[in-house]
Amino acid sequence: MNLLLDPALGPVSNDAAAAITGICDDALQSVLGHSLAREALDDPGLLARIAPWARDLARGLQYRDRYGTGDPLTIELVARFSASPLSGDQACSLSETVDLAVVLTLGRVTDQVLGEGSGARHPVANALAAPWLAALQLGYRIGLALEILRLSAPGT
């Protein structure tokens, strides 16, 4: 499961890694069932195909362990993870793109995790169904921020 930890976010302690593994395991069992979750955890390729959101969940939990709780602005994420300094306009433009992508796609991620139509439900109902959902959503935004930074880097 530690393969889900993202090197871009930096290392975590063994205790934090174990906690992240446990939360991800519980989430996978909740969504996939025990036997399929076990198979997916033993096969990273299968996990990526049937539960791509698991990496986002681990990323959100890892971020919170490293940088504290809360929900950082996307522009803060872009600035934090950029390999080189960005101008204010660059950071703003990249973060707006990430935020638009989140608006357009997060409902599908929520539907994949909590079932069809859950993306349109009240957020409190979803949070009750999956207490780890906020960490997954944060990790999803971080993943998109990392991806846009990779795509916008010079020479790529």
pTM over 0.95: no
For position 3, what pLDDT does the model report? 76
The yes-or-no verdict on residue 1 having pLDDT over 50 is no
Both 56 and 106 in one domain: the answer is: no
Report the percentage of the chain scoring pLDDT > 70. Answer: 97
Dihedral class, residue 85 (left if φ above 0, else alpha if ψ from -120 to 50, else beta): beta
Both 84 and 51 in one domain: the answer is: no
Question: At which of 15, 37, 67 does a domain end?
Answer: 67
Closest among 70, 55, 53, 67 to 20, alpha carbons compared = 55
Both 50 and 93 in one domain: the answer is: no
| Per-residue pLDDT tens digits for 9-36 | 999 999 999 999 999 999 999 999 999 9
Question: At which of 39, 67, 95 does a domain end?
Answer: 67
For residue 109, the enclosing domain spans 74-152
| Per-residue pLDDT tens digits for 138-153 | 999 999 999 999 999 7
Both 92 and 140 in one domain: the answer is: yes
Question: At which of 47, 67, 87 does a domain end?
Answer: 67
Query: Could you give the number of structural domains in the chain?
Result: 2
Both 81 and 62 in one domain: the answer is: no
Q: Residue 135: pLDDT band by 50, 70, 90 thresholds?
A: very high
Both 58 and 82 in one domain: the answer is: no
| Per-residue pLDDT tens digits for 74-106 | 999 999 999 999 999 999 999 999 999 999 999
Question: Tokens 């990273």 — which residue?
Answer: 44
Q: Which residues 6+ apart lie within 8 Å of 116 measured at CB? A: none
Both 140 and 78 in one domain: the answer is: yes
Q: What angle (nearest 5°) sits at the alpha carbon of residue 71, between those of residues 120 and 112?
A: 35
Q: How far is CA 59 from CA 10, 15, 24, 133, 139, in A?
A: 10, 16, 10, 12, 5
